[in-house]
């Protein structure tokens, strides 16, 4: 496929994650490790609900409305974000937010660190 070949030409994945390598397309910042990455390598999520019934919803198709934030599909980044309360800050939430649905999603899509396809 043409698309694959072009990406292989343009993306250099020689260094550790987050190194400023040339990429095609937009980049986003992971709310966990705060590194920038191509948006398509990150999981978008949004907050739904209101008041004290807030939860984080993964948005793999990037279609959900509202303010979104991005996270590596990596449990380590999730844990970091949770510890620093980065979810609430990134999405401008006040109060407790249920991270369960997002955590569940990450378990199914996570890739081992360093295995950068
Ligand atoms: Zn990360």
pLDDT for the residue numbered 8: 47
User: Rounded to the nearest whole angstrom, what is the distance from the C-alpha of residue 99 to the centroid of ligand 1?
Assistant: 16
User: Rounded to the nearest whole angstrom, what is the distance from the C-alpha of residue 11 to the centroid of ligand 1?
Assistant: 18
Residues less than 5 Å from ion ligand 1, measured at CB: 30, 32-33, 72, 77
- Whether 38 has a pLDDT exceeding 70, the answer reads yes
pLDDT for the residue numbered 33: 97
Higher pLDDT, residue 22 or 4: 22
Is residue 70 classed exposed, middle or buried when 0-12, 13-18 and 19+ CB atoms within 10 A define those classes?
buried
Half-sphere exposure of 22 (CA within 13 A, CB side): 6
Span 13-37, average pLDDT: 76
**Single pTM value for the model:** 0.72
φ/ψ (deg, to 5) at 30 = -70, 130
């Amino acid at each position: 496929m043409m698309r694959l070949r072009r990406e292989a030409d343009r993306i250099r994945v020689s260094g550790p994650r987050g190194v400023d390598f040339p990429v095609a397309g937009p980049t986003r910042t992971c709310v966990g490790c705060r590194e920038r990455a191509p948006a398509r390598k990150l999981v978008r999520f949004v907050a739904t609900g209101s008041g004290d019934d807030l939860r984080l919803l993964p948005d793999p198709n990037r279609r959900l409305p509202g303010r979104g934030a991005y996270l590596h599909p990596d449990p380590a980044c999730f844990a970091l974000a949770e510890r620093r309360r980065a979810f609430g800050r990134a999405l401008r939430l006040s109060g407790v937010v249920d991270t369960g649905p997002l955590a569940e999603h990450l378990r199914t899509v996570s890739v081992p660190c360093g295995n950068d396809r």
